[in-house]
Structure 1
Amino acid sequence: MMLTCPNCGHENPSDAIVCGHCATPLANLCPNCGFENPRGFKFCGNCGTNLLTANLARLSNSEQLRRLRGLIPMPLVDKILNASKQIEGERRTVTVLFSDVVGFTSMSEKLDPETVYTIIDESVAAFREEIYAYEGTLDKFMGDGVMALFGAPIAHEDDPARAIRCALGMQNALKRVNDDLVSKHGITLQIRMGLNLGTVVVADIGADLRMNYTAMGDTVNVAARLQSVAEPGTILASRAVYEETRALFEFSELGSIRVKGRIEPVDIYQVLGIKREPGRVRGIPGLAAPMIGRDQEMTRLQRIVETLAREHLGGVVLITGEAGMGKSRLVYELKQWIMHTPPLDQICIHEGSCAAYGQSAYDVFVQILNSLFEIRPEAAPDTRREKIHARLEEMVPSERARFEILPYIENLMTLPPQEREFAARIQHLEPEQLRQQTFLAIRELLTYAAQFHPRILVLEDLHWVDKPSLDLLLFLVNSLQEAPILFVCITRPADNQAAPQLQRIANSLHNGQLTHVPLEPLSRQASVALVEQLLTLANLPENLRSLIPQRAEGNPFYVEEIIRMLIDRNIIRRRNDRWEMSPGADVQSLQVPRTLEGLIMTRIDHLPESTRFTAQCAAVIGRDFADSILFRIAETSSARIDNDLQELMDHEVVLQTFNSGERSPQNGDAAKVAALSADGATVGTASIERQFAFRHFLTQQTIYNSVLVRRREQLHHKIASAIEELYPNRLDENAERLAFHYGESQDAAKALPHVIRSAERAASRFANEEALAYYRTAAELAARIQAPPETRTRILIGLGDSQTHIGDFDTAAASLGAAWELARAQPASPQQARQTAEVARRLGRGYERRGKYDEAMQWLESALREINRDVSSSNAVERVRIYLDIGWVDYRRGNLDEAEHWRLRALEISEGQDYYAEMGSAYNGLAALYNLKGNWHRAIDYAQRGLRVREMIGDLEGTSRSHSNLGAIMLNIGEWDEALPHLQASLELKRRTGDAKFLASAYNNLGYYYLYKGDTTRARELLTTALSHTEKLRDTNAMCLALNALALTDVTDGEFSHAVALLEQSINAAEEMGAREALIEGEWILAEAELGCGKVGRAQAIAQEALEAAQTHGMKQAEASALRALGMIGRVTQNFSAAEPNLHRSLALFNELQNPFEAARDEFELGLLYRDKGWLTEARAQLEASYQTFERLGAAIFTQRAQNALRGLD
């Protein structure tokens, strides 16, 4: 075994008596009694003294310090030597730190001396690094303790704060040592520390860099006493230290203790940690002013808030103004007023801000949700989930209601679902459906939250809002009219998509207009008043007094920046609580930049070089930044960065935020600090990631633009790497930041996967414009680095999908066509077959949406051929989708048998699998198909199955369609009372989801209900609304169906000419797009309308054409309706031999289809036919039968007609 020298650490042979390096005795002598103990003895065999601790303590302090001389970082050595020439004989204020390791004695009893020495060396090395990091100096070693000084020989403005940060760092350093100790030896050490502030007189700096000094008073004794009474694991500070640092750190007051030699007791405070929101330490005291020139705007906002509190009436406030006009300051003052004005202080305020870049879709609302759930953005996923669950249980009493909210909120906040039911809801919804569900969940959440307290949602920098967030905002504004929620929207007036849309939406609200609060430039008088309020400087030269308002042009931020520049250059100074001109200040030669950006840069240029560099690094990170990333990229010590950040805060360039995106205090901050300590990071420890923000976006942008392009690229790359290293488990939610920073670094290979992931994340949230932008960037990057074909195909597919979703079908076809060519050129494999089939199917769907059914079917057949090249089960879901899309095109073309075949094949595969979305589509498609065929039993069965599946996966859109199908079927079989709840549920769900695409069908179906019931006025209102929706969406097929329904209403009311005009429009459009169902329906209605106009020949030809088409395509309902039209024509022309069989065939079909209303109409027509023939008995029988059916169903108009016809027989 080797012997380690306790003096120099040299390893010596086991039989050595003295150290071969420094001649220190190695004999195991007891320093207490002199007895020589055998090697390995831990306690003296003569007197029982602990040999390890005694031998360590016997080393002279100078010997230990001499060992450390070679360990001091050279930059610090240079600073100490430079300082030594200046401070000899000076009085210096220092902070003294005493530490003691607890557990050392018990450890030495359990472990061999070599192991103990190793542990001590590691601990001391860790402590030494912390002390040197904050530019303190080691003064003494005391066995297992140290004494350090901060403030001499090197002085800083914040030495007391440095001492505390060092103490916190030493605690964390010992934790790292303990991790190893516990795993290897089951031992834990603790450290206790004492801090005091006082004065010393410096004598000189020795060759060993040790400072010789004389302590004044009890500076050192008090620190030592505090350390001795501290509990293990704690840090105690004197009142002097507390007073200097209380703005930066959390303390607990513990009372007072007696110190030997002092008459007065010493007040003691325990250091708890770093404050989450520090106060101003030095800064610019007195540079503050009340808000100037915004009294009217403030009064308007106050009245709105009072209405919110008193009447629980929300609304929208739009605050606009150019950069620097004081938009954020106005809202800040409003919040302060609310917080200090009972009972308004019960209002809860939640804030979010948009960013110019690197922000994911809905990020502004994620910030608001973080505030609502009291979650720190960097909190661990489990912590975030726990807080969401806990808050939802408080706010939402119904478990069912929570179930409708929770999965979508977790998904939006990038929390993977844990419950199987939640996972199913997210997994099986299309992006558009998921977007709708998310919108609804947020609306319901805010509604519940507002029931406890009124809410104000502040959305800042809306000029940078992403399209999905704007869509959500507009949805909430439109659908939360009754809730006590006030939306405060802050934006610049130019190039702004949010303001006009908010104005348009708000103007349609029944509770009043949007309140627009534009902030204009301050008047010259107000600008002068602002200067005077900020400075209260009597002798300010007149040229400055006039120059500042003149250059500012009414911009408050510019006024403040000029004044800060004057302070930075020491032209004005603070003295005796007043501002004054500095003696000898050269005002005449002062150059004041004419632009705000130039003014900002002038101020930054006058900061120390290190501080400027830190500001530049922070600016490249973004307006909001975390110190953990800054530490990784700035290439300097954490202590230096802490000092630079403090300098930037003092000059009001940056501020420390409570959390990401929150730039000003909130009501309830104290409670938040307590709550947030449970987030996995203890309040006030050095391990907390602190968040900062530039005080103004212009400041960040100006500094960013001052960094050389090449340097910017390097910093962007370092930032991206730091994000990957710091948040390895949160890369997905940071995809947009990584895409931005790697992109700006020009590292295309690194950027590409993150850009693709950002595009896919946007697409999954139906953020189509954002997805499109990312996919375009990905395509450029892929071309630049010649990415693999699979990657380029993936990009082109995403590009095509995004273009399809925004209606740019031609461009989408080009993108997907390029993907097809690329995929087809790859070697054959199951993966290649799936990819080519997927591309072809997407092309087919695109053509189907445009009504180009022939092209659609060609591509879908290609998809089928491709997927048939691989018969493995791995491609089963793609196969199902192809079958469903082919079935849909066949259905649209009127090929019902083929449509039935493909939908049943899709169902064979999907049933028994977890393809719930596809299964639901197949069920709904079959229900609609069998409804058209008149097979009501099967139609109802499949519609009910579809309803259950859609409800299970939380697909409100699909649920609405299932209700619509069931309602239509119930109408057809005469179960009108059962039909109405389904039709109303369908319409309500479509309204809730904002499903504009299928809202028309819901209005259409409900219109038919009222038409059948005989309320043609109500029917016409609903059908006109349906038509309006189809025209907005340019949905030709739905437009044709709405026109047909309106025409049928006109026919019922005897408005035949108007009906003809509507039907000609419908038939022309249906023929052009090949919408056979709408075409045939329009033709048999047109036959009745032309008959009503007296154009018998035209009516005959059209009815015959409709009949043949319906028979060809198996549309039994249309066939029966065309036969009835021919029968009616035969009766009018007295061609009874043709009329009677046509009416009987129609009646037989409608009876087969179990459609009592339509069958009764045939009976009514037969009654009229028999009357005209003079067969009154047969006529009465048919008319009596029709009357009874009409009356039972509640078909008012037809009941009256049948009754009138019967009376005519008497």
Structure 2
Amino acid sequence: MRSRDPGPSLQVGRERLASTQEERRVVSVLFADLTGSTPLAERLDPEDMRGVLERFFAVLAREILKLDGTVDKFVGDEIMAVFGAPVAHEDDAARAVTAALEMRRSMIVLNDSLDPRHEARLELRIGINTGEVVSGLLAGQLQAAYTVVGDTVNTAKRIQGAARPGEILVGERTRQATSPLFTYEDAGAVTAKGKAAPVQAYRVMRESDALTRATTGSRLLVGRERERDALLGAIRRLSDGAGGVVAITGDPGIGKTRLLAEAREAAGAAGIPWLQGQASSNGQSLSYLPFRDMLRGFASIDAADRDDVKWTKLERAVRDVLPAEATDILPFLGAALAVPLPADAAERVAALDGDGMRRQVLRSVFLLFDGIARRAPTVVAFEDLHWFDRSSEQLLAHVLPLAHRLLFIWTGRRESGSAVDRALRASRDGGGDQLTEIALAPLSADESEILCCDLLGLTVLPAGLRDAVVRRAEGNPFFCQEILRTFRDIGALKRGEDDGQWSLVGGDDPATIPTTIQGLIAARVDRLSEDAREVARVASVIGRTFSYRLLVTVSGAADVTAGLEELERQAVVRPRPGGERAYGFAHALVQETVYGGILVRRRREVHARIAAAMELLYEGRIEEHYGVLAYHYAQAENWSKAQEYLFRVGDQALRIAADAEAVEHYERALDAYARAFGERWDPFERAAVERKIGEARYRLGEFERATRHLDRALELLRFRRPRTRTAVRISIATEVLRQAVHRLVPAISWSARRPPEIKVAALQTLWFLQFIDYAKDLERLLYDILRSLNIAESTTPSHGTLRAYFGMTFMCHNIGLRGMGTRYARMADRMAAQVGGTLAGAIAKASTGMDHLARGDWDAALADLHESVNGYYAAGDLEPWSGTITYEHMILVARGRLAESLAIADEVERTGKTTRDRRIESVGPSLRGHSLSWAGRHAESVADYRRALAGYREIGDPHFYLPAAAALAQAHLRVNEVAEARALVDECLALMREHRIAGWWLTWVLDPQAGILLRDAAAASDEAQRRRLLAQAERVCKQLRKQGRLSEDSLVAAFRHQGTLEWLRGRPDRARAAWDRSIAIAKRLGAVTLEFETREAAARFGGSAADREAAEAITRRLTTATPAIASAS
């Protein structure tokens, strides 16, 4: 470009070059790098791109020249400037920082000049360093040019390289020279090439005014020594590897944020990483918002980044912490953060229903935080916890167990029933000894006086000022600051020219100053110019933080930039670091007060303008803003638009299993729809909403309410379910007939005429009803499965069809229809290849595995179940994974492979904890108890079983409670604890009667029941009682033989107890025959534990030495696995 000829000193003319000598000077060197030009260049013709860059650099150079700086050179997208050579000024460092701020401001206008269709914005990264250089002529082949060289220049370049887009970083000497004029924030150390030690850098925040300390805050932390010591003590303990929880609570303005800043500074000094998330008042309906904020910061994701850049940054950050697990968890982290996913990751997420997604989001965040904790002691901080959304509350509670290695710090207003209250309760429940609550009380009068003295630089506060400030502030530090600011603004606070002392003087009567902090803020805003007030009002409607671009688009102020600068000078708003230019209100109370002062009619109008502007500005990534758009349109009472975005954000929440927010969004959407359109609903659309609410309520554990919504959805789809018990049985018969006819004549289908989308919606609804009915009503479950099957077979083969085949395999084997169960399993296996994908294969192998298990082919069952387990895990579908792995575990224990079985138990419990799934977590100790019982570690086994039963009792799942309780009863019997076993069996029988449970579950209970009756009969001294007990035992044995139609292992128990029964009746030959038959079946299955039970019974009752030796050999084989088990656990 002709205007940017390469070479130094573009402003030093020939006359000065001729007279310039080499000399040492102290200068301030500025490097500015233009970022974002690459994506813009991809969209523009090269000539157009050249014109854009020329225009940008001409404006930037003008800002440098206005302050007597020298543009040293242009290199690519970078500009280098020098302040202090060849002409020096006494304030060159200040000129350099001022020029940087003006250059950054000028970028706003320049970016606004770009065509919005290009969806690109350029940003500056600026670095400044002050120090000694050698200046003079640099000889070249083409020309001699003036420039500066030295370490100061190199360091300025390194500092600029560390700046993020939109940031201005300076070195230590620049900060020292300009600290009275500008506000800085510690930006950490920068590694500089060629330097032994890193270079300290500081971030330029804003220009200061003459009363900065009196009106923007004290550097002295007053009256909080004990609280600060407690907080810094927690930081020190974290340095030593011990985490914890610190909750900083108190009223608005009491100093929570100030104390949090102290902690951050201490952590930075100790080299401790700090992750922080911010909640907001209008973000309570936006799922996981504080965690999104935190994890986007963790990955250095900027809102202005392209979609692929966001994913790349997230992937890089996660792989750095968890290289082995990153591929597994990245899709779910990306979904939770609303980062657009690449195709392969999106496919994994799409395969899961909302329940599976919830588990994976919780698991992925837990594993990430666990990895962060293992990498280095880290602080996890949240500000304004009282504004947490419910999903973030649940996620926080889920990761709190990591407080032994992470330090959680949060601030919040403590109110009864608030998120802060619930977080404190969760912290105490999870280990109260790790919790430190710092409840900030108001400052005393003396402490308030000390604070005011520090703000004003005094040692003693004049009496009049003490009365006017300390009494009014009532110990609130922010209130003290606001009162001093108000006195200054009305001319009542002046500094004497002679003695430098502050005093109250003429002006408005201080007695007329508002007596509340909100009143003070409102009065201060009223004293601003009209442009500044209008900017503040519009910004307050946008929210606590706001982007400059959105503000300019919406604001009606004549000069937004001037208004913002005034708000900055008055400390109403502050710039936020990052890529896109953005600001935040100095305090939440400021935003709330300004917003509260706007008339409701005007608020609605501004909310509407904001929403319309967002649709225009964020057109390419509008899905990231559904929640905010729904909020603004609802506040604008534009119900048509509000319901549209509420439904969309509800769908988003449902996809990431943020169920509480999903229900809230959908119910608000229903209300908004009714306001806009009345009851003119399309039945299919209304059914979709009812299903989604039912799905969310199911995951919230609200099963009755979920059932009502799901049944309503089916009615709207014209697939009404039967209500009464008689109707259910008639409907089952009808569906069986339909299925039989379809098997004989496949062309006949009763659902064929329904539109495909209606049938898919019905299948989705019935799928969740199956989960609900499984826990409480097996007859309805059978109807749900049959109805789903008949619908699914009239649609394109899908996961829904495969699940229906699996359900039929399961139910057929549970009611003794073995051949039919096998047919459905084989149909599933054939269809899986047609559907394709990992999940389809997992469902099919679960079907064939269950079929092999029921038919007694345990080798094939183990192979298929193991393949299914791996498939479900790879697909991320952990609900069926945990159920299928339970059957794999049962076979492994029966075959004496205890070390493998215990590894499974540990994995299941660990997965339950990382997914915050109480049922999966309870399965783990149940499986572990089973393994340890056979390893001879009875006390540990009982403890694990009791933990499992407590979990199942808590979630109210009898189908998991029964086998665990029955297995514990059997474990008690093996060590002759008959009374304990009897109590458990009685409880199981009562549960089975209450819930009408039969099928495979019955075998688990009948086995220990028969054992107890036979032991009681053997010990009975009364003959009549003995005969009665034997008769009862005989009835149980007959039931067990009938159970043999369902699974082969039932016959092992049936013939074992039959042998004992025959022995007690004095028929040793029949006893031996029954025992031998039991042993033969156990051997065919390879079930050494079942063989042991029969050998032990034959030895106990029949006195068989051979059986005793065989039982002892099995015991030795099992107990020698104990060392392996110990190492596995």
Q: Same fold (TM over 0.5)?
A: yes
Q: Which residue of the partner structure matches residue 1091 of structure 1?
A: 1014
Match among 287, 293, 296 for residue 370 of structure 1: 296
- Aligned-CA RMSD value: 4.1
Please name the residue that 1:601 is paired with: 522
TM-score relative to the length of structure 1:
0.72
Question: Would you say the 8 A contact 1:462–1:498 is kept in 2?
Answer: yes
> SS at the partner of 1:489?
strand
CA deviation map 1:931-984 (0-9, x unaligned): 354320221121121133134335566655555433311222344455444444
Q: Aligned match of 1:944 in 866, 873, 880?
A: 866
Instruction: Give the Å deviation of 1:393.
Output: 5.0
Contact 1:1107 1:1119 in 2 (8 A): no
After TM superposition, give the deviation of residue 1007 of structure 1 in Å.
Answer: 1.9
| Cross-structure match for 1:835 | 761
In 1: Cα distance, 2:49 partner to 2:379 partner:
54
Match of 1:469 in 2: 392
Asked if the contact 2:167–2:577 (Cα under 8 Å) also holds between the matched residues in 1, the reply is no
Per the TM alignment, residue 1015 of structure 1 is displaced from its structure 2 partner at its CA by 2.9
Change (3 A) 1:548 1:884: farther
Note if 1:794 corresponds to 2:688: yes
Match of 1:314 among 236, 239, 243: 243
Choose the corresponding residue for 1:824, options 709, 713, 718. 718
Residue of structure 2 aligned with 1:1036, choices 958, 965, 970: 958
Selected match of 2:618 from 690, 712, 727: 727
Selected match of 1:1064 from 962, 986, 1008: 986
Q: Which of the residues 338, 343, 350 maps onto 2:275?
A: 350
Tell whether the 8 Å contact from 2:361 to 2:915 is kept in structure 1 after alignment: no
User: Equivalent residue of 1:655, what SS?
Assistant: strand
Flag the 1:906–1:231 CA change in 2: closer, same or farther, 3 A: closer
Structure 1 pair 1109–281 and aligned structure 2 pair: CA distance change class (3 A):
same
How do 1:190-589 and structure 2 match up within 5 A? Answer: 192=58, 242=95, 245-246=98-99, 248-249=101-102, 250=126, 275=167, 277-282=204-209, 284-287=211-214, 288-289=217-218, 290-309=220-239, 311-339=240-268, 341=269, 344=270, 346-358=271-283, 360-396=286-322, 398=323, 400-418=324-342, 420=344, 422-450=345-373, 453-479=376-402, 481=404, 483=405, 485-495=406-416, 497-500=418-421, 502-503=423-424, 506-507=427-428, 512-536=433-457, 542=463, 544-573=465-494, 578=500, 580-581=502-503, 584-587=506-509
Report SS of the residue matched to 2:619: coil
Distance in structure 2 (CA, Å) of the matches to 1:451 and 1:836: 46
Aligned equivalents of 1:894, 1:363: Cα separation in 2:
51
- CA deviations 1:191-228 (Å, max 9, x no partner) are 64698999xxxxxxxxxxxxxxxxxxxx99x97x9799
Question: Aligned equivalents of 2:462 and 2:956: distance in 1?
Answer: 68
* 2:815/2:1046 contact within 8 Å kept: no
**Residue 746 (structure 1) aligned with residue 677 (structure 2):** no
Aligned-pair identity in percent equals: 23
Q: How does 1:118-133 map to 2 (within 5 A)?
A: none
Alignment of 1:66-81 (within 5 A): none
Structure 2 unpaired stretches of 5+: 6-29, 84-88, 103-125, 138-145, 169-203, 721-752, 1018-1024, 1123-1129
Does structure 1 retain, via aligned residues, the 8 Å contact 2:909–2:920? Answer: no
Amino acid at match of 1:412: A
Q: Aligned residue for 2:591?
A: 700
Alpha-carbon separation, structure 1, partners of 2:914 and 2:33: 53
Q: 1:1121 to 1:229 in 2, by over 3 A?
A: closer
The answer for the alignment partner of 1:646 in structure 2 is: 565
Distance 1:529 1:1142, change over 3 A: same
Paired residues of 2:4 and 2:74 also in contact (CA < 8 A): no
How far off is 1:611 after superposition? 1.2
For the residues of structure 1 that align with 2:530 and 2:294, how far apart are their CA atoms?
A: 37
Q: Residues 851-930 of structure 1: matches in 2 within 5 Å?
A: 851-868=776-793, 870-871=794-795, 873=796, 876-888=798-810, 899-924=821-846, 926-928=848-850, 930=852
Q: Distance in 1 between matches of 2:52 and 2:426?
A: 67
State the shift of 1:900 in Å. Answer: 4.7
Q: CA deviation at 1:761?
A: 2.0
Query: Aligned in 2, Cα 1:522/1:893: closer, same or farther, shift over 3 Å?
Result: farther
CA distance in structure 2 between the aligned counterparts of 1:517 and 1:529, rounded to whole angstroms? 22
Q: Against the structure 1 CA distance between its residues 243 and 1009, is the aligned structure 2 distance closer, same or farther, given a 3 Å change threshold?
A: closer
| Alignment partners' CA distance in 1, 2:936 and 2:703 | 42
Change (3 A) 1:703 1:586: closer
Q: In structure 2, what is the equivalent of residue 119 of structure 1?
A: none
Q: How many residues are matched?
A: 953
- 1:830–1:387 Cα change, 3 Å: closer
Contact 1:960/1:990 (<8 A) preserved: no
Query: What is the deviation of 1:867?
Result: 3.9
Does residue 47 of structure 2 align to residue 182 of structure 1?
Answer: yes
C-alpha distance 995-923 of structure 1, shift in aligned 2 (>3 A): farther
Distance change in 2, residues 1:1007/1:394 (3 Å): closer
Q: CA deviation at 1:586?
A: 3.7
Q: Could you say which residue in structure 2 is the equivalent of 1:1021? A: 943
Q: 1:863 to 1:419 in 2, by over 3 A?
A: closer
State how far apart, in whole Å, the 2-side matches of 1:575 and 1:911 are.
Answer: 89
Q: Please give the residue correspondences for 1:1146-1165 in structure 2 after superposition, counting only pairs within 5 Å.
A: 1146-1165=1078-1097
Give the CA deviation at 1:775.
Answer: 1.6
- Aligned partner of residue 512 in structure 2, secondary structure: coil
Instruction: Describe the SS at the equivalent of 1:486.
Output: strand
CA distance in 2, matches of 1:844, 1:252: 65
Aligned partner of residue 700 in structure 1, secondary structure = helix
Secondary structure, counterpart of 2:302 in structure 1: coil
Query: C-alpha displacement at 1:243, in angstroms?
Result: 6.5
Q: Aligned in 2, Cα 1:1057/1:617: closer, same or farther, shift over 3 Å? A: same
Q: Are the counterparts in 1 of residues 228 and 259 from structure 2 also a CA contact under 8 Å?
A: yes
Aligned equivalents of 1:805, 1:510: Cα separation in 2: 26
Q: Conserved in 2, the CA contact under 8 Å of 1:957 and 1:989?
A: no
Give the Cα separation in 1 of the matches to 2:53 and 2:368.
47
Alpha-carbon shift at residue 1022 of structure 1 (Å): 1.7
How far, CA to CA, are the matches of 1:885 and 1:1135 in structure 2?
Answer: 44
Deviations 1:889-937 (A, max 9, x none): 5566676665554444333322353453354244335435543543202
Q: Equivalent residue of 2:575, what SS?
A: strand
Q: Which TM-score applies when normalising by structure 2?
A: 0.76
Segment of structure 1 superposing worse, 383-392 or 727-736:
383-392
Deviation at 1:857, TM superposition (A): 2.7
- Displacement of 1:701 in angstroms is 1.4
Cα pair 2:303 2:580 within 8 Å, conserved: no
Cα deviations by residue, 1:698-734 (Å, 9 ceiling, x for unpaired): 2211211222222212221222222222222322222
1:596 and 1:513, CA in 2 relative to 1: closer, same or farther beyond 3 A? same
- Change in Cα spacing, 1:232 to 1:427, as seen in structure 2 (3 Å) is closer
Could you say if the C-alpha distance between residues 793 and 646 of structure 1 is closer, same or farther in structure 2, counting changes exceeding 3 Å? same
Task: Check the 8 A contact 1:1060/1:1090 in 2, yes or no.
Answer: no
How much does 1:766 deviate? Answer: 2.1
> Could you say which residue in structure 2 is the equivalent of 1:783?
674
What are the residue-to-residue correspondences of 1:980-1019 with 2, within 5 Å? 980-1019=902-941
Question: What is residue 86 of structure 2 aligned with on the other side?
Answer: none
Stretch deviating more after TM superposition (516-525 or 526-535)? 526-535
Q: 1:446 to 1:579 in 2, by over 3 A?
A: farther
Instruction: Quote how far apart the aligned CAs of 1:460 are.
Output: 1.0
- Give the alignment of 1:67-216 within 5 angstroms: 102=3, 182=47, 192=58
Partner of 1:1205: none
